[in-house]
Chains A and B, each alone.
Chain A
Amino acid sequence: MGLESQLDNPFLTTTIDTVVNWGRKYSMWPLPFGTACCAVEFMGVVGPKYDISRFGAELVRFSPRQADLLLVMGTVTQKMAPILKQIYDQMPQPKWVVSMGACASSGGFYDNYSVVQGIDEIIPVDIYVAGCPPTPENVIGAVYKLQQKISQEKVAAWR
């Protein structure tokens, strides 16, 4: 049937970290926190042409309790900031955050009274994606980078 039928001895020796991280990195469930134009670009990322599901992250969830990858896409205002914080807190561990675009990463060109100058003022960020908006390849690149990062993680480090 599977791989084991090809082996004489149906056992593989590995570590917990390797096997759990292998599972995690190919089954990320993204929560799209889309507040501006970057979110429109994300539609291209999940669409058939670029298709993020090739990297195992296609199951977009709109409840933070069912997601482990928070994609922050767009401008976050001071008024929105507590909501973003709350959504992050509602996600079960393990969880990762990708900050997509100039606005989410640094406030972008909105150097003004109402915009948070980078979401890392509020929540921890794993991967920053440059661009205004980033190309779909860039976002897929971020997912790929995050997979590399996850494969280095220690399972016991997450609560």
Chain B
Amino acid sequence: MDQSQITDRLKARFGERILSTYAMCGQEAVTILPADLVEVLTFLRDEPELRFNMLMDVGGVDYLGFGGDGEDEDEVRSHRFEIAYQMFSYDLRHRYRVKVAVKDDSVEVPSLWEIWRGANWMEREVFDMFGIRFTGHPNLRRILNHDDFVGHPLRKDYPITKRQKLSRPIDHLLTDKQEWA
């Protein structure tokens, strides 16, 4: 299905709950709130004409400093974090993107682990890098940075020259059953 048709389907189904839409070069996306995330993405997965059966990627964006003082109108954001979900349908071979605007300071977003099991490690990565808390995640721990790491390095206010050393062996990772959960 064409991406603009998917946008139309979502707008017809969820109406006001679609905060904004985005279209560029045939790629479309909608922005929603965390409260609607599970419902919208379950719809995308289960609707027979959409059947997005694969979550390809979860990515975070930090819009710190995009508060409206910039010259570019498009870049103004009232929220700091955005999570982008890329989906793909194996059966129908179409793709789509849904963004979530994280407005409150608790930076909580529901986990999609119940919808796509593959969300597990991708959400851990976003947690590690941006500190987004995925509620309902079975094993929300750091995945790339070492265990002694403090802070979230892809946040814009993380000092670029800050170094954090790991001084102990990481042997425990090899035997840690939960790590591979």
Cβ < 8 Å to A, chain B residues 126-154: 144-146, 153
Contacts of B162 in A (CB 8 A): 113
Task: Using CB atoms, name the residue of chain A closest to B159.
Answer: A113
Q: Which of B40-48, B56-64, B164-172 contacts A (4 or more CB under 8 A)?
A: B164-172
Please list the residues of chain A having a beta carbon within 8 angstroms of any beta carbon in chain B.
Answer: 78-79, 81-83, 86, 111-114, 117
- Tell me the complex Cα distance, A126–B4, Å: 61
* CB <8 Å contact, A79 and B170: yes
B22 to chain A, nearest CB (A): 30
* CB <8 Å contact, A82 and B167: yes
For A117, give its contact among B158, B160, B163 (CB under 8 Å): B163
* CB <8 Å contact, B160 and A78: no
Task: Using CB atoms, name the residue of chain A closest to B168.
Answer: A82
21 A-B contact pairs sorted by A residue (CB < 8 Å): A78-B164, A78-B166, A79-B146, A79-B166, A79-B170, A81-B166, A82-B166, A82-B168, A82-B170, A83-B170, A111-B160, A111-B161, A112-B153, A112-B160, A113-B158, A113-B163, A113-B164, A114-B144, A114-B145, A114-B153, A117-B163
Task: Using CB atoms, name the residue of chain A closest to B164.
Answer: A78
* CB <8 Å contact, B153 and A81: no
Name the prevailing secondary structure of the A interface residues: loop
Q: Which residue among B153, B162, B163, B170 has the maximum number of chain A CB atoms within 10 Å of its CB?
A: B163
B12 to chain A, nearest CB (A): 44
Task: Using CB atoms, name the residue of chain B closest to A113.
Answer: B153
For A81, give its contact among B160, B161, B165 (CB under 8 Å): B165
Contact A79 B145, CB 8 Å, known A86-B169, A114-B153:
yes
- Sample of 14 further A-B pairs with CB below 8 A, known A79-B146, A82-B168, A114-B145: A78-B163, A78-B166, A82-B167, A82-B169, A83-B169, A86-B169, A111-B160, A111-B161, A113-B145, A113-B153, A113-B160, A113-B163, A113-B164, A117-B163
Contacts of A79 in B (CB 8 A): 144-146, 166, 170
Contacts of B165 in A (CB 8 A): 78, 81
Contacts of A86 in B (CB 8 A): 169
- Tell me the complex Cα distance, A113–B158, Å: 9
B97 to chain A, nearest CB (A): 27
Contacts of A81 in B (CB 8 A): 165-166
